[in-house]
Structure 1
């Protein structure tokens, strides 16, 4: 029997020749086109309103002015970006260590789960605008308070993601490993952790979007350098263009870090990426 393809309401003979697919780079670019169109439309509307409106360039500078002033002050922006990146990376590293340790403890003990999970939720209800100045007051204006604030903001989604990932482990696979003589640590290392990795990276992406903002907010509360201090000084000098240029830099940093999570995920969990590709192909 000749294979057939259905097009609309008609069945057409299948020639057996696969239709050519667009290159992967082209497909990825096509997926990003809608977002680029929206961003371009927003920038165009902003440019038109800034030029034709009556707010003045000091109040609402155009995107072109923000870009030109940001480029003119690129050395200052870069010098203040480095302290923010140091606080972000250090705080996020601490968040990873704390989040993993807490997830292991919660997974190992039901008592710890009942005791710690409500406390973890409480930490996320603390108003950062009140906590950040106190942390700076207690630990000074050096790097430590900013690291602590970034960790406080970002460790929760990492911890919850890992805990939910451990819980998603296949029970039959655990039983099989136990019958083969595997101990609790070996099961955790070879089965529960790999199962939890996709959940971990989902939480990681949520956390990374808050990391740069948390570092900047900590600098607002008290610091000697950084994007938060630079933004505050620009605001006090009525340089709205430099404030918006700093916002653009922080957004770019967040997007880059967000994108890096996908790169790391593909390197660490290649089987997940392969399964997703096979699912889309089917």
Structure 2
């Protein structure tokens, strides 16, 4: 009952969309352009072994490495900018400028630099996921309450105490907000990298199916990518609730 109350409207909208898609695709009857959802599910079942045993692990590896690098480097840079005004003035404008460059235009350059290895796809993923993690964490570190800061200072707190007892807990919700954006974007980054140049992966498989004019084959890995993004988002949300139990008490 709780699930129906919370997600009933969204589930109903998705169901209506799938029904409309099924009926519209049957009327158009151009499977190589617009396959029906049942055709996509059938193709997904037929190709389950190469998709789930070969291409899905390759994509998950790219996502995992990209997210790990973004978290480590993004949080590190956010902390550095929060304690050093010069670093903030140097790197913050560069991060903003980097978001104006279309990643799809840079992906072929990374293929030239790194070849068809995993690192060309990892770099694309990092570029997409680095920004939300860094900016949200930095905003959280800078948004700590002045009243709490002054209170801790009057109690003899050191800079180390202020950082670990005030800034880190205060910035945690911001970090998780950025991470929830980053995990969904990481799927897009990995798919873009694989689409441009790869030898395995769900994005690569979708592009290969497109060259064969197999509409259902193009959509099948996209369904898996969408499911991966949803599972990653839900996982981060559950981790946030478990880690930040004090927010419920507030």
Same topology, TM > 0.5: yes
Alignment of 1:262 with 2:237, yes or no, is yes
Alignment of 1:75 with 2:23, yes or no, is no
Distance in 2 of aligned mates of 1:89 and 1:234: 25
Q: State the 4+ residue runs in structure 1 displaced beyond 4 angstroms.
A: none
1:12-27 → structure 2 map (5 Å cutoff):
26-27=1-2
1:164 corresponds in structure 2 to 139
Alignment of 1:106 with 2:81, yes or no, is yes
The answer for unaligned runs of 5 or more in structure 1 is: 1-25, 276-282
1:87-106 → structure 2 map (5 Å cutoff):
87-106=62-81
Mean alpha-carbon deviation: is it higher for 27-36 or for 98-107?
A: 27-36
1:122-133 → structure 2 map (5 Å cutoff):
122-133=97-108
Distance in 2 of aligned mates of 1:228 and 1:58: 18
| CA RMSD of superposed structures (Å) | 1.2
Distance in 1 of aligned mates of 2:248 and 2:67: 25
Distance in 2 of aligned mates of 1:143 and 1:183: 44
Distance in 2 of aligned mates of 1:143 and 1:29: 41
Q: Give the C-alpha shift of residue 58 in structure 1.
A: 2.5
The answer for unaligned runs of 5 or more in structure 2 is: none
Distance in 1 of aligned mates of 2:126 and 2:76: 13
Say if 2:132 and 2:182, in contact at 8 Å, map to a contact too. Answer: yes
1:143 corresponds in structure 2 to 118
Q: Give the C-alpha shift of residue 61 in structure 1.
A: 1.4
1:271 corresponds in structure 2 to 246
3-state secondary structure, aligned to 2:147:
helix
Q: Give the C-alpha shift of residue 29 in structure 1.
A: 3.2
Q: TM-score, normalised by structure 2?
A: 0.96
Q: Which has the higher helix share?
A: 2
Mean alpha-carbon deviation: is it higher for 136-145 or for 76-85?
A: 136-145
Higher relative contact order (CA 8 A, sep 6+): 2
